[in-house]
Amino acid sequence: MDQEQSIQTLQRIRRQYLQAKTWLYAQQSSAAVAVGGAILFKWKFEVPLLTATAVTMMVGAVLYLALRWKSLQRISLKQVAEHLNRQYPQLEDSTALLLRPAAELNLLERLQQQKIAERLQALHPDKKKAFRLKPTASRVALAVGLALALLIVYVPAASFAPAFNTNDELLIEFPDVPAAVADTAVSIEEIEITVTPPAYTGKKAYKAEQPNLRVEQGATVTWHISTNKPAEKLSLVLNEQTPLPLRQLKESYTIARTFTEPALYHLNLNGQKSAYYTLEIIPDEAPLIQISKPKQYTEILFGEPQRVSLQVQLSDDYGIREANLIATVAKGTGEAVKFREEKMSLGLNGTKRSLQVNQTLDLKKLGMTYGDELYFYLQAWDNHQGYTRSETYFVQIEDTTIVESSFDMSMGVNPVPEYFRSQRQIIIDTEKLLAEQKSISKTTFDERSNNTGVDQKLLRLRYGKFLGEEAESGIGPGGGIPEGEEGHHADDGHDHGAAEFRDKNDPQALLDPYMHKHDQEGEATIFEPAVKAKLKGALAQMWEAELRLRTSKPKEALPFEYKALRMLKEVQQSTRTYVAKTGFEAPPLKEPELRLTGELNKITPPAKRTTTENEATLPHTRAALQWLERQKIGGKYSQRDAQLLERAGQELGQEALHQPGRYLRALQDLRTLIADINRKQPLCAPCLITVERAWQELLPPAERTPQKTSTIRSKLSQQYREELNKR
């Protein structure tokens, strides 16, 4: 066998492989084309969704086959040779030699080429199929596709109509209408349901897409029905109540109702009742107020800006009509408290569904000062009747002049010197000076700043006496002897113990180093060490403030003044004294002697006993459940059973008003059972299960009653039970 024949054999094997794979891919594509064609044949482009699905399936199948064919064309003879090497070990992994010209081969390779050509011819002789694939998966796909296509073609289209109903037509089912008279009886040709939302929603009227409605609270629903013949009686029944007749126009009937609560409804056409449909209400939500800042209680300390940042997010489902802030300012203490209320707008222009508020409340503009409190809350109204009020928020400006006391009235004698208020007065003077800086001259500004620094110095020296300082000493970096009369002299009336001017042999001079004649600086015994440290820190802050006031820098002195005031307040609170609480202690009762010794002869048991029995609820539902149990056993029914199911259905409909969607399926299946009884047909088995489950859920849970049991687990339990019976 020469080389040309070997190449022809490889080409034949490749061609057979391509034909086999193409046939398998064609089977898979044919399955999708069959399903798509069946859909188009059945619905004839009447349902857009099904049409798009069918066309997509068919186009996808064609593209799949084309892509597979294109990929098969890329298979070369070299790949076929490699496949044969893997498939047949007797080819000794040398099939690729058949593709090379004999001139390029050496003697050994030519011998091997002839040998492989003979073996390949033996494995794949001419005119025989050289390649086989497993077609199981493709054949299964084709069979499933053909079966599905036949199912689509032969199953009635009416069973799929409710699921693929378009927006152009609404279908109302009448299960009570017999099939024999369906063509000659009065029927509904067209029904149009228009929903007009209330004005507060801002929506336009729209048409319903299905009989089960979900409308806004207060919406008006209009039914416009056209029939093939004039109807003797056409009414709308809401919640199994009095039927509402439809107003007849030229060739149609109409009725409009406004709904604020959910309902169940059906149509009554010449005594034939339609299936039940739900009408759910979308409630109008109240506005939502979310306050990010401030916190519910905010205290503004000394030195902090007397402003409060307000960050609020307001939202509503249909729109906020009005929103404002109500602020109440409380001034004074005790019975002299005065309240002033102000109303502040939140900047709402028009109606908005969402509003972001970022404002700053200036407490000074509200007339607040130290010790005052602010109470405020937000309120919002929507376009309807929704109203929301937020929680009350509190803002207080700290007042250091008020001494906080405990709730116990027996505690708290706190004699505070009057000059504890002076530091606050220095702060007020400094703030006033800064406010008037632009309106006064530089000389006046420096003079007033220096005078305030002198006041700060005098106050510092006053508090220094509590630390044993009788003269200005090393407080701060600029400590030294004060000017004027505040220094010490040899004849100021004090015994200073200046031993250097006395005789060294004087016994008094020898004892002076060991005697305590005055509280020395750093060793004062008026306060405890912790309190003394706070007071010393306050004096250091006063020194820093004085230094900046003296150098005409009052703005830099303010932080030190505030810190000194805070530390003084802490010292003030630390020096409070308390009186132990005393009270009357009653003697102990003689319980063992008096317990259970009262006279019981005047206590009589009640002479009249009344017993009440709960009336049976849902009697028709209970009777219908008993009827269902009999149906499971015998399966016979009479025409009177339809009336029983009607009454039980009315009870189910009344209970289903709160959750219309929950019992809708059960009411529809109940209507099917009534129709089967009227037609004297076998009852729908799945409908019986659905209705029974709904009625069982409707009944209240049974009361638990004690049950007599004769089971004794052990002899000890039996003996215990006998002893109880004896007593």
* pLDDT tens-digit readout, 335-378: 677 888 889 888 888 788 888 989 888 888 888 888 888 989 99
C-alpha span between 7 and 14 (Å, rounded): 11
Query: pTM here?
Result: 0.47
Contact 547, 476 (CB under 8 A): yes
DSSP 604: -
pLDDT at 378: 92
The rounded mean pLDDT for the chain is 76
CB proximity list for 378: less than 8 A, separation 6 or greater:
289, 291, 312, 314, 323, 324, 325, 326, 346, 389, 390
**For range 115-126, the mean pLDDT:** 71
Query: What is the torsional sign of CA 424, 428, 429, 430?
Result: positive
CATH number for 418-482+507-574: choose from 3.90.1210, 3.30.43, 3.40.30, 1.20.120. 1.20.120
Q: Which CATH class is domain 179-282?
A: mainly beta
Question: CA of 170: how far to CAs of 61, 162, 173, 434, 462, in Å?
Answer: 35, 9, 10, 79, 95
| DSSP three-state, residue 153 | helix
User: Which residue(s) pair with 254 in the sheet?
Assistant: 224, 247
Q: What is the pLDDT of residues 150-168, one digit of tens each?
A: 887 776 554 444 444 444 5
SS3 state of residue 484: helix
Contact assessment for residue 374 and residue 342, using Cβ atoms and an 8 Å cutoff: no
> Angle of helix 442-464 relative to helix 529-550, nearest 10 degrees?
160
Token look-up 């259905």 returns 649
Residues 647 and 710: beta-carbon distance below 8 Å: no
Residue 216: exposure state from Cβ atoms within 10 A (0-12, 13-18, ≥19): buried
CB atoms within 10 A of CB 643: 13
**What whole-number distance in Å separates Cα of residue 546 and Cα of residue 45?**
95
- The correct CATH number of 288-397 out of 3.30.70.360, 3.40.50.11260, 2.60.40.10, 3.30.413.10 is 2.60.40.10
Please give the average per-residue pLDDT across 307-313, as a whole number: 91
Distance CA 445, CA 447 (A): 5
Would you tell me how many other CB atoms lie within 10 Å of the CB of residue 498? 10
Measured on CA atoms in the order 568, 574, 577, 582, is the torsion positive or negative?
positive
Residue 259 has pLDDT above 50, yes or no: yes
Give the angle subtended at the CA of 22 by the CAs of 21 and 27, to the nearest 5°: 100
- Average of pLDDT values for 32-48? 78
Residues 6+ apart with CB under 8 A from 725: none
Give the span between the Cα atoms of 10 and 80, in whole angstroms. 7
Check: CB of residue 237 under 8 Å from CB of residue 671: no
CA distance 397 to 394: 10
- Give 477's pLDDT tier (boundaries 50, 70, 90): very low
pLDDT beyond 70 at 412: no
Long-range contact set of residues 96-105: C-beta below 8 Å, sequence gap at least 24:
98/3, 98/6, 98/7, 98/10, 99/7, 99/10, 101/3, 102/3
**Contact between residue 319 and residue 374 where contact means Cβ atoms under 8 Å apart:** no
User: pLDDT at residue 513 above 70?
Assistant: no
CA–CA dist 663, 262 (Å, integer): 13
pLDDT category, 705, cuts 50, 70, 90?
low
- Give the position of tokens 């008037």: 436
Question: 280 falls in which pLDDT band (50, 70, 90)?
Answer: confident
Q: In sequence order, what DSSP letters do the residues of 700-711 get, joined into one string? A: PPPPP-------
Tokens of 409: 């009235």
Separation in Å, CA 409 to CA 178, 336, 412, 599: 90, 21, 7, 44
Instruction: For residue 718, list its beta bridge partners.
Output: none
What band does 176 get if pLDDT is binned at 50, 70 and 90?
low
Q: Which residue's entry shows tokens 């600086």?
A: 521
Q: Is the pLDDT of residue 174 over 60?
A: yes
Helices assigned H by DSSP within 128-262: 136-154
